[in-house]
Amino acid sequence: MKKYSTKDFERDFPNDDACLEWLFNSRYPQGVTCPKCGKVTKHYRIHGRPCYSCEVCGSHVYPMAGTIFEDTKFDHLKLWFKAVAYMSVTRCGISSRQLSRDIGVTVKTGYRMWKQIRSVLHEDATLAGTVEVDETYIGGKAANMHASKRAKLSGRGTVGKIPVFGIVERGGKVIAKTVPNTDGLILIPEIEKHVEAGTTVYTDEMGAYKYLKEHGYNHEIVTHSAGVYVNGDAHTNSIEGFWSQLKRSINGTYHHVTPEHLQEYVDEYSFRYSHRNDEEPMFKTMLSQVVKHSS
């Protein structure tokens, strides 16, 4: 992935007008279909206003409408782009307070921008080839190590912890979701939703996965309880590596995450992981995600 420096940012987005131009071109790469004319027409920027006008009928198009930038003032658009840039450059994420300090806004404003940007990082995908499936628990504390292991294998979780379910395609994307529990009735439908039938699926020996073959998957088990963690191609190292990175990032950057907001954090780190090998800088990938979630 290419790096994107402050110098690169100032070159590409020197002012609010440049940011609006990028947003307009990205939202309408094939041109604007004028709702009044009923066809693609040329649109020209109206000086001093965040809109473009149809050359035929004069109707206006507002590129910021329907995006996370909609309710902000036009002269703050570059500030939003800068916030995306700051959030994209760190692998472990950035807190809303740190973002507020970095871009020079109030804590309240910084939190709103931080939350809005993260709201567009949710992705769905269909995985295939070879995938690994696993679950983890975030937050709270287990009574002891043995209780934690027994609870994981039984699917009951641990005291105060939130179960998170994950599917990773080796060399590809990850899907991770908070779930009410790790019973098969919860996990199997999630696998069917996100993994193509016929795919090779590697899991540990937890009982929730025992019917995967009946659902059309080539299911291979890694028996962790017997001390086996790798057996040829059979392992769950990729998804466990993702869990490790997710937990380190949350503990190091945010320290504490409430249950109602945990999915937002999981979405952010899933997005970073899924796009770790993109040729485009993470900043451009995040900006493009804003356009994908526009209405």
- What span, in angstroms and rounded, lies between the C-alpha atoms of 295 and 281? 24
Please tell me the distance from the alpha carbon of residue 112 to that of residue 118, in angstroms, as a whole number: 10
- Number of structural domains, the chain? 2
Clarify whether residues 79 and 159 are in a common domain. no
pLDDT of 185: 95
| Same-domain status, 134 and 250 | yes
Q: What is the pLDDT of residues 57-72, one digit of tens each?
A: 999 999 999 999 999 9
Does some domain include residue 1? yes
What's the pLDDT at 146? 43
DSSP notation for 143-210: S-HHHHHHHHHHT---TT-EEEEEEEETTS-EEEEE-S---HHHHHHHHHHHB-TT-EEEE-S-GGGT
pLDDT value for 194: 97
- Are both 206 and 88 inside the same structural domain? no
Residues 272 and 245 both lie in one domain: no
Closest CA to 73 of 95, 96, 105, 34: 105
Residue 56 lies in a domain: no
Question: What residues form DSSP beta bridges with 140?
Answer: none
In a domain, 18, yes or no: no
- For the segment 207-251, what is each residue's pLDDT rounded down to a tens digit? 999 999 999 999 999 988 878 788 888 899 999 999 999 998 888
Q: Are 32 and 294 in contact (CB under 8 A)?
A: no
Q: What is the pLDDT of residue 174?
A: 97
pTM: 0.86
251-259: long-range pairs with CB below 8 Å, 24+: 252/92, 253/92, 253/93, 253/94, 253/95, 254/93, 254/95, 256/139, 257/138, 257/139, 259/139, 259/162, 259/178
The strand pairing partners of 163, in sequence order, are 137
pLDDT along the chain (295 residues), means of 10: 89 97 96 93 94 95 96 94 93 88 95 94 94 90 45 52 95 96 95 96 94 95 85 91 91 75 92 93 95 91
Q: Which domain holds residue 200?
A: 130-257
| Phi and psi based region of residue 133 (left: phi greater than 0; alpha: psi -120 to 50; beta: remaining) | beta
| Long-range Cβ contacts of 59-65 (<8 Å, 24+ apart) | 59/34, 59/35, 61/24, 61/28, 61/32, 63/20, 63/23, 63/24, 63/27, 63/28, 64/20, 64/23
- On whether residue 283 sits in a domain, the answer given is yes
Angle at 61 between CA 57 and CA 63, to 5 degrees: 160
Residue 57, domain member (yes or no): no
Same-domain pairing of 221 and 108: no
